[in-house]
Structure 1
């Protein structure tokens, strides 16, 4: 906070010299480019200057595009969010929040979301002004490349926020605003499948980290081969919209490595399941005890008998869930039961039925057993999403957590449907 007035003072004093120095600055800048082009040989410092000048134009264009995008969309978004907050305040005044705790939690949650969006949009306005001011200051100082990099960093924050905000507005599902529980299970192919499951685990953890969040690894069952790979892993993402973002990841993920064309190739697979993780709310879904088969067993290599794996099977639908992350049998039972409820609610929504007793077992579309995505590592690199048809050539970037294009494609597909 102490550095801000000094920075603004510096910017103001520099801008006072703008009219008298602009012409000379532009002339010297032009001479620099011409001189660098006609010299038969030049030093490394001169070469770096030329590259910086060329990079300046690219950075400036990206900064201007981000600022223009924010100036066109942010005011309208802010106005809509303020109208939304006013409506939520009216609902809160007209409704007795003490009579219905479930409804009151929903109303208060929506109000909090609207207030949070308004604060973020106001912060975005300051971020845009910061990018513009630093960019202008960089030009005044004879094209200060480091300042342009700083302005570009601010413009990246602007684009990142707008991307997330626009995607969030497309999330219309009943559970899209909830957290997500991602369960990764290696195929039955042995070491290669288990290594691939570990790669997927790291991909989702890196994805969350890029968004500024942390994925909590609650279960990691070691490989049966003893090589430290992953047989089963469960990650919990405790942030809003995580389920809306990741629900399209459900299904079989295949890694293809072809050494001699179609004659000889390695195909590794892992199953990814995604269920809602309710944040601050609890499902009031009731399940009859006689519809459940509950069993427990100790995790392999676990010395303490106080942390058993609890498995629950729902007889009417045949679905099974498990939990082993908690310290007691009772706590694991509660967590497994919550996961089962979440899965049943999702299936009921997909089948458009109001009660889980109306779920048709014969028509359950278990997306976990359908192919979702193919990753090709050899002889070329390619990521192909089966559901949306999108193809991306940068396999390494995807495995490093940059799955935003795939997530965005799924959200837009669901929105159009």
Structure 2
């Protein structure tokens, strides 16, 4: 699919936009969305609908998502249709020429978002995500890097319009964190964060080294889907060990004086989750159980993929040497993704949460629509 560029003449750019929009229309299927919206509205308008406290919120949320998707497509459709008329007027008015460029930029960006949405085909891609950051090799530098990675990922999620909630953070001995988990709620959150899953490497002059030497630190990012249906995974009560402890960090006097934080260990798999952000032990336990269900789902999917890879004679290294991306701050600045080859020289911009380019490149690669980077683990 061709994407319009500013170097092309305006007529060719507009034609590329129309072609891309027509192809995406077949994927979005606005008429089917409108029909689905009508069905949801009829269900919501039925007598006693709100009496079902389990189904009503789900239907209402689906109605909101469908409405947003359809209204966004219709608005884009109108803007695409207006481009030809605006282009004719822009030939005679410089101010309208500037407006045309703004409109083309806006339309192109929204087309890219629709194109991105086509890349999600997994069972849980459209749903919310549970994201965990763990410090890896590198001591205090790794714990500090884990906190930087956590901040970067949360900022990126917020820039995408997701609702972000930090569920748990365990501080490092001197700085940073050893582990932290947050929830990202929004359309395609799980599918998007899957592109960030893996080991992230930082190279910099260590602020914790008295000799100011260049150090390498690692942090890992895990992502799991959040599902509402209990039937998606079975958890036996006898398979759980539940521990309570005093929450650390911000939260007021209540956090420091009661054992409100909850840690749950799933004994058969060794999966551990913990939550301390809620005000009561029961609320923390409920949230932790949702986290456990999400992580067990992800583990089951990872095990399934590993079995397929084994059957095909493939192998994947789980070592720290298998980093997906390197962030180099010294002696130069560069962030490079080893899977796709996508790189950005402004490392600070990336650390502030500008990850769209990296994520889109990986989604395209994973979907077989972009080449894999050669020499993916080379030094940058």
TM-score range, shorter chain: 0.7 to 0.9
Structure 2 unaligned residues grouped into runs of 5+: 207-212, 306-314, 370-380
SS state at 1:236 partner: strand
In the alignment, is residue 162 of structure 1 matched against residue 127 of structure 2? no
More helix by share: 1
Closer, same or farther in 2 for the Cα pair 1:368/1:165, shift >3 Å? farther
TM-score (norm 1): 0.67
- Among 293, 299, 313, the alignment partner of 1:347 is 299
How is 1:18-417 mapped onto 2 (pairs within 5 angstroms)?
61=8, 67-80=14-27, 81-82=29-30, 84-85=32-33, 116-129=68-81, 136-141=88-93, 143-144=94-95, 147-187=96-136, 189-225=138-174, 229-257=176-204, 265-278=214-227, 281-284=228-231, 285-300=233-248, 303-304=253-254, 305-306=257-258, 308-352=260-304, 371-386=323-338, 388-394=339-345, 395-416=347-368
TM-score (norm 2): 0.72
Checking the alignment, whether the CA contact within 8 Å between 1:59 and 1:148 is kept in structure 2 is: no
Q: How far has the Cα of 1:60 moved from its partner?
A: 8.2
1:34-73 residue CA offsets vs partner (Å, 9 max, x unmatched): xxxxxxxxxxxxxxxxxxxxxxxx9685976664343113
Work out which of the two has the higher radius of gyration on C-alpha atoms and give 1 or 2. 1
Residue in structure 2 matched with residue 31 of structure 1 by the alignment: none
SS state at 2:230 partner: coil
CA distance in 2, matches of 1:126, 1:374: 42
CA distance in 2, matches of 1:324, 1:150: 50
- Alignment size in residue pairs: 335
Residue in structure 2 matched with residue 19 of structure 1 by the alignment: none
Checking the alignment, whether the CA contact within 8 Å between 1:172 and 1:415 is kept in structure 2 is: no
CA distance in 2, matches of 1:125, 1:171: 22
Checking the alignment, whether the CA contact within 8 Å between 1:186 and 1:232 is kept in structure 2 is: yes
